[in-house]
Every structure is written in C-alpha cells, then in structure tokens.
Amino acid sequence: MFKRLLIAVDGSDHSARAVEKAIESIAPVRAEIYVEVVYATASVQPKSNRLSEHELYIRKQNEEEILQPAVERLSAEGIRAEKVVLHGDPAAAISEYANEYDFDCVVVGSRGLNPLQKMVIGSVSRKIVEQIRHPVLVVK
C-alpha cells in the first residue's frame, strides 16, 4: 500500500486528472496518506537581489495558482498535503526529488500544458518514468 505520494502538477487538465486519480486510488486509507504536491518550474532558483520585489511576488503568485487547487482538492477529501516548488528542468527536478525522498509512488499527468508535447520524444512524464526508481502512475 502506498503511504507517501508525490503528485506532480503544472496547472494542466492532465495534472488535475492525476490529482483525481490519486484521490480515487487512496480512498480507503486517506487518513494514513502523506502527499506532496510538486510543481517544477523550468526557471532557475531566483536570487532575491536579481529580481525586484514585484517580480518575486508575481512568481510566488503563479506558483500558488498552480499548487493551491490540488492541495485544496486533497484537503477536501481529508488527505494531508504539502506544497513543494522545484526549480530547473521539470523531469530531472521531479525525478531527483522523488528518488531522494523515497516516495512510494509518483503520480503525473500524461501531458502538460504544451499542446505539442504529445509529439515530442522525451516528454516530462516519459522522462520521469525512466528516471524514478519507484512506481509511477501516469494518468491520461
């Protein structure tokens, strides 16, 4: 049974379906589950002295807009969830994080926001499947 889940989100419909599938999959043991909702942004970790206060605020708002719906949806079902923002190549960042913190399962959408992504070999979800040492649930 999975007790520690990582759900990768990017604001797409596919990631919203990944959240729903995770909820459905863990229904009987919700109180025992720990979930981290992860958003990986391709931008590098900002140095506060390089970005204005306004730019940092906008970046944080964008991250919240992507993460918050998933956390609220999980919380509404009685599932404890934490938000995590990673910086760098999304597939590499998520894979490294998942492997380092030893999640029981990683849940990702099959495609992200990029409509061309389905035609690109090496999409984020495919790379995650290849790089993570634990089970990965890819949701269409």
> Which H/E stretch holds residue 136?
strand 136-139
Q: What is the pLDDT of residue 48?
A: 58
Q: What is the pLDDT of residue 119?
A: 47
Spatial contact of 70 and 104, defined as CB atoms under 8 Å apart: no
Residue bearing tokens 């590499």: 92
Which letter does DSSP use for residue 5 in this model? E
The domain total for the chain is: 1
Q: What is the pLDDT of residue 121?
A: 36
Structure tokens at 87: 């910086």
Q: Identify the CA nearest to 26 among candidates 74, 72, 67, 84.
A: 74
| CATH at 81 | 3.40.50.620
Low-confidence ranges of the chain (pLDDT < 50): 117-122
State pLDDT tens for residues 8-28: 999 999 899 999 999 998 867
CA distance 128 to 124: 6
Tell me how far the alpha carbon of residue 89 is from its chain's centroid. 13
Q: Identify the CA nearest to 63 among candidates 77, 46, 75.
A: 46
CA distance 95 to 8: 10
Amino acid at 94: I
CA distance 125 to 18: 12
Boundaries of domain holding 59 = 4-139
SS3 24: helix
